[in-house]
Amino acid sequence: MTEILFDNARWGQDAPVLSILTPFKGDDPTPLLAALGREPLARPGQAELLVLDDGSGDPALAARVEAAVADLSLPARFIRLDANEGRSKGRNRLVRHARGQWLLFLDSDMLPDRPDFIATWLDLIAKDQPAVAFGGFSLDQAPANPDNALHRAIADGSDCQPAAVRARMPEKIFTSNLLVRRDVFAAETFDEAFTGWGWEDVEWGMRVAARWPILHVDNTATHLGLDTAETLTAKYEQSIGNFLKITARHPDLMARYGSLKIAKLLRRAPLLQRFKPLLKAYVLARTPPVRSRAFALRLYRAALYAEAMA
C-alpha cells in the first residue's frame, strides 16, 4: 500500500490535544473541512485534522481536498492511498499518523450542528478526560428528497437519538462522531477482520464497554450522506459476514438487538428464500408509503441474516 502525504503549513506546530480523523472513499469531504476551518479556537494548535483518501482513485477529488487542506487554519495532513484498504484498516492508519491524546473519528459526510463543535469536545476533554464519548448525529442539515426518504425514515427511527436515550445501550456507537482517548484505542483498535460495511464500530464499542465507561453527549453532527434504497439494500447485503462475526463474539450483548431477535424468528419461517426477494422488491418500489418500506427493509436485513445463520 503506497501513501502520498501532504501537510499544510501549520502541521509542524506542537502536538495538539485533539486529532480529528476523517476517512473517505469517493465522497467529497471539503464541505466538512470548510466547516471545521471556520470555527475559531481559544488557543491555536489545540486541534489538528487528518484526512485519508482510502483509494478513491479520483485525481480531481484529491486535488480539491489537497487545496482545502492547504487553506485550513488547523494543522492538517492529507493521506492518499493508491488502493482501498477498508473502514477498519483506514481508521487504524489515521491513528498512527495522529499526534493528539484524544482522537475524534468524524465521517466525511458529516457537518457539525453547532459553531463551537470542536470547542465543545475540547471542553469535555478538559473537564472529564473521558475514555470514550459519542456525540450522536442528526439529520438537521440534510436535504430531504424522494431518493433519500427511506434512509431518513430509518435513521430518524433508530439512530438520531438524544444522549439520554443512547446511554441505555452505551456500546451502540458509530464512528461518525466518536471521541476516544489514545490509551484506550491503543488497547482496543478496530478489528481488521471486519471488512465491507457494518458492525465494526458496534463490535469495537462492545469490547471497550467491558473495560471503560462510554459517555454519551449531545454534540451532534448532521449525516449528510443519506443513501438511496438501492445503496442501503446493497450495504445490508455486504454486512452479513460482519453480523455473523459480532454475533459469535458477543452473543449476550447481541441478544438485545432487534436485528438478531427478528433473524432468529425468521429462521423458522417457511419459504424464506422466496419471501426475501419479495421484501427487497417492496423496499425498492417508489409508490408504497415510506414507513412501510422502512419496516420491509428491516425485515429484509433480518431475512439476510436469518438465511446466513441457517
Among 168, 192, 225, the domain boundary falls at 225
For the stretch 113-161, pLDDT in tens is 999 999 999 999 999 999 999 999 999 999 988 999 999 999 987 889 9
Query: Do 201 and 282 fall within a single domain?
Result: no
- CA 178 to mean position of chain CA atoms: 8
Query: Do 221 and 193 fall within a single domain?
Result: yes
Number of folded domains that form the chain: 2
Query: Do 297 and 258 fall within a single domain?
Result: yes
Domain that holds residue 239: 228-310
H/E element, 138: strand 137-138
Residue 63 predicted with pLDDT over 90 = yes
The pLDDT of residue 198: 83
Quote the CA–CA distance of 270 and 122 in Å, as a whole number.
54
For the stretch 64-96, pLDDT in tens is 999 999 999 999 999 999 888 887 888 889 999
Lowest mean pLDDT among 5-9, 173-177, 264-268: 264-268
Among 196, 225, 254, the domain boundary falls at 225
Q: Find, among 231, 239, 230, 240, the residue nearest to 307 by Cα.
A: 240
Query: Do 127 and 252 fall within a single domain?
Result: no
- Strand 110-112 and strand 221-223: the pairing is antiparallel
